Structure 1
Amino acid sequence: MPLAKERQTPMRLPDRESHPVAGATKIQAGSLVVLDAGLAKPGHTATGLVSLGRAERTVDNTNGAAGEKRVEILRKRTFLFSNLEADPVALADVGKPCFVVDDETVAKTDGTGTRSPAGRVADVDPSGVWVEF
């Protein structure tokens, strides 16, 4: 039915998302966040994870049930993460995917099928790896 009067249409910004946090989980502000079975968790080594982006604020759901709290994610940006010394991303990897090790570290490879993709390598410098989500 057409609008009969003005309305405030709900909106989502394309670079921000909110996801339910897994139970017994704390996500630190600035961490790489992944979806694991539909619930947000800090980045960790596992297969089948979906990388979301960076947590905007710390969310402590350590005493809560799954989905009791939500975490705001900033995406469609490039963020700096640590480079795993044992499997380093190199400048030659710009434009290629890198892989989640933990909530602050990425690696060049999938660790023989044990890691999920983090995002696209945008740059590598002495500070770490710039990852585009």
Structure 2
Amino acid sequence: MVVIHCSATPNGRSHEVNEIRRWHMFERGWSDIGYHFVITVDGRIQAGRPMERPGAHARGCNQHSIGVCMVGEDAFSKAQERALSQLLSDLEAQLPDEFAVVGHRQLNPHKSCPGFDVARWRVGEAPFPLMAGAHIAQQEPSNGA
């Protein structure tokens, strides 16, 4: 199962995997970033925690799930939509027998993340929540994860 999250940061503001890793390690005391992948505002897919290690992103489901964090809160860039589609296709090819995609809010009624109905979006029944009029400048790739 793949669990989609948001970073709960202002829409359009760029954050990198290493910044989120620092939040998780130093502010929460975790051993690593909780997510396996982070999708930046400009659509880069950055590796977080190795997929062989359980995540720390969905209590009760971490042992059997992959965590993907979309940087933003409730609206994302077109580049993020393309990157999420590509990442999900890649993960489905790697994990065909156990593949399902849910939003964090589907696993915890106290969460609103990622701010959209992932399952309905995947089958074309709901739109992807795009930032209104946001222009995202291309950034230099980080040497991070």
TM-score relative to the length of structure 2: 0.27
Please identify which structure carries the higher helix content.
2
Please identify which structure carries the higher strand content.
1
- Which of 1 and 2 has greater Rg? 1
TM-score relative to the length of structure 1: 0.28
- State the structure with bigger RCO (CA 8 A, min sep 6), 1 or 2: 2
